[in-house]
Structure 1
Amino acid sequence: MAAPETEPTVRDYGPPSRQTVRLAARTRRFWLPVARNWRMTPRGIRMLQRVVDPTERVPVLRGTEIERISVGGVPCERIRARRAGAGDPARTGSTDRDEPVILYLHGGGYVFGSPRTHRNLVSRLSHVTGLPAVSVDYRLPPEWTLPAPVEDALAVYRALLQERDAARIVVAGDSAGGNLAHELALHAVEAGLPAPAGLVLLSPWSDLSSSGASIRENALEDPFIPESGLRRCARVAVGAGDPAHWRVSPLFAPDELQAALPPTLIQVGTGEVLRDDGERVARRLAGLGVETLLERYAGTLHVVPAWTNTPEARDALHRIADFVSHVLPAGAAPEPSARAEAEAAGSEDETMGIEPPAAPGAAA
């Protein structure tokens, strides 16, 4: 662990590539009108979940193996890319304590999303880091609201701790999943569990009370998340709870819990409405002595590494792999390689993942 800091290490990248500029323009034209006007009634939520959730056969990076499993009683997917040992009988299905793992928590505003919607991204993270990933299918509205997702994530983490040391678990998540990854680590510390080796928070939605200035400052610039849609998702996710309570918005958690967190990487886009959510978490953690790296990408869309075939996605994946290698024990993960990063950022190698039958009793 690095010496206590008062400010996070900040790295700025830009200007945006031509691919990202074109992508942002298309997204603003076709997605924003839908997101602004979608009604978050129970019927509307179920319809949204059906519309955005793909079929079981999702294109993933070539050679990736997908296995449906149950971990701590929670449905999950184990995702193992080729570089993480897919196809190796000695590693496939392994529960070896010496094998590190990424625990991944998907985004979707706490109203939609699943391991399927994020399978492509997680397969790329598995490939570039050389590690298997466990992607959690946590409970969602309209049947469930917070704290149900936190309970599910914590149950998975407890189960993983039965199989491997906390020093070999990296917790990652995007958007609402970034909120959930942060909450998971805080709740683990509160419960007396060891903290994971590191946190990777991708455009984290850390404040459901929407008090960050960028919510309004970037409302016209963000091509993906409309302010109105974000607030509707927050009302659904919180239910009758307080959106400013730390068990909903981890930005506001007590100092003693925040200070016990592991090294943390945060990636945000400078023009997204959630920019300040990530930046404020970075400043808070660094001010309490947590080793914190904040990476800001100019002109990019929400969750930088998710946008396949952009230079920014390649760079973001490269830096995630470097961070994961840094926080894990020496030799625990393959060294990041330029070829792996290029493969993970492009789509030309995609093919359908092969999914064995579900194994309800399996563990990661």
Structure 2
Amino acid sequence: MGQDQAVPQFDANGDVRVPAFVLPVSGLLSAEAAAFQRTRATMPMFDGAGTQEPDIAARREQINAYAATGVARLRENFAVEIVPQTIGGVEVLDVTPADASHDPDRVLINLHGGAFTVGWDGIAMMEAIPIAALGKFRVVSVNYRMAPEHRHPAGVEDVAAVYAALLEDYAPGRIGIYGGSAGGALTAQAAAWLPAHGLPQAGAVGIFGAGGVPFDAGESAYVAGYIDGSFPPPPADGSAGIDITRGYFVDCDPRDPSAWPGYHLDVMATFPPTLIITGTRAMDLSPAIFTNSQLLKAGVRSTLIVGEGMGHCYHYGLHMPEGRDAVAAILSFFCENLN
């Protein structure tokens, strides 16, 4: 090491002062993923400048417009039927293979991403279409209540209402729940909520791009803020940054097990088999690792997949082998466990 090369500085309180450095594209990536990394300079970074669109209706339109190209591509590549309806008093999209080849005895509940504020119905369709088509599943994507209009536990209450209604037609062991980002966190909340409120546990859950603790818990939110850039890092001075959930958890105790079950081993022990997917460049890496460790400690079967060089919710990226591998793992997991 040269004398003039910058090195980390370790403070007495354990903080690390990291020098500026260049992070090369991983040599372990597929050619498609490496090419995608090179496009990051032209991609939008929502709220990256430390500001937030004040009009939630405008932000929802913005996110749906951003998702529209991907949704159109999915509709071209995957033949599905999408039927808006109401289940348990909650608006849903009922997504099935167009040829009705899905297993009539199994169903998946999808909880879309979007920081508990956006994502209906653009992100919902991105999450539901490939799973329904490739896995031959009926996927019920839930339009759960979000902020700023609503607060926790509104979203998980809606999920429970849909789940309870589906129990009229499906055995609980044949119902799976999955979601990405906020939907992944909401999936963890649902797994905690169902048995705590007298409902039988689902057969299996998939927590993708999230964990059972807040997104800013642990180190990865800081690291990913600088090497991935999809979300800004927490302020360096320890002050509160942008609340991307727009107050969804404002009145919630930071350790409330209905919101963040990962802190509570007794709650985690009630979880069904769980699949967790994150990436080495994802802000959710630390919550995912911690949640997996807690589940294993609680005696629950948990599988953690960490995509090398991958960012937040990389399983959306079917243009990459890594994204396709993640989706294949999701389908295999639910096929194995919903029986």
TM-score, length of structure 2 as denominator length? 0.82
Alpha-carbon deviation of 1:263?
A: 0.5
| 1:87 equivalenced with 2:103 (yes/no) | no
Partner SS state of residue 86, structure 2: strand
Quick check: 210-219 or 47-56, which moved more? 47-56
Per-residue Cα deviation, 1:174-233 (whole angstroms, up to 9, x for no partner): 011011011111110111211111011111153227221111133211242222598521
Per-residue Cα deviation, 1:154-181 (whole angstroms, up to 9, x for no partner): 1111111122110110110101101101
Distance in 1, matches of 2:59 and 2:33, equals: 26
Asked which structure has the greater RCO (Cα within 8 Å, sep 6+), the reply is: 1
Partner SS state of residue 47, structure 2: helix
Quick check: 57-66 or 254-263, which moved more? 57-66
The residue aligned with 1:350 is none
The residue aligned with 2:92 is 76
| 1:31 equivalenced with 2:44 (yes/no) | yes
Indicate if the aligned counterparts of 1:76 and 1:115 stay in contact, CA closer than 8 A. Answer: no
Distance in 1, matches of 2:232 and 2:37, equals: 13
The correspondence of residues 80-229 of structure 1 with structure 2, limited to 5 A, is: 80-81=96-97, 86-88=98-100, 99-208=105-214, 210-228=216-234
Alpha-carbon deviation of 1:24?
A: 3.1
The change in CA–CA distance for 1:53 and 1:40 in structure 2 (over 3 A counts) is same
The change in CA–CA distance for 1:109 and 1:287 in structure 2 (over 3 A counts) is same
What RMSD in Å do the two structures reach over aligned CA positions? 2.5
Partner SS state of residue 279, structure 1: helix
Question: Which runs of no fewer than 5 residues in structure 1 stay unpaired?
Answer: 1-12, 330-364
Alpha-carbon deviation of 1:151?
A: 1.1
Structure 1 letter corresponding to 2:258? R
The residue aligned with 1:324 is 334
| 1:51 equivalenced with 2:62 (yes/no) | yes
Structure 2 letter corresponding to 1:202? F
The change in CA–CA distance for 1:326 and 1:231 in structure 2 (over 3 A counts) is farther
- Structure 1 runs of 4+ with >6 Å offset: none
The change in CA–CA distance for 1:29 and 1:216 in structure 2 (over 3 A counts) is same
The residue aligned with 1:347 is none
The change in CA–CA distance for 1:120 and 1:256 in structure 2 (over 3 A counts) is same
Alpha-carbon deviation of 1:326?
A: 1.1
Structure 2 letter corresponding to 1:325? C
Distance in 1, matches of 2:68 and 2:92, equals: 13
Structure 2 letter corresponding to 1:274? D
The residue aligned with 2:318 is 308
Indicate if the aligned counterparts of 1:189 and 1:257 stay in contact, CA closer than 8 A. Answer: no
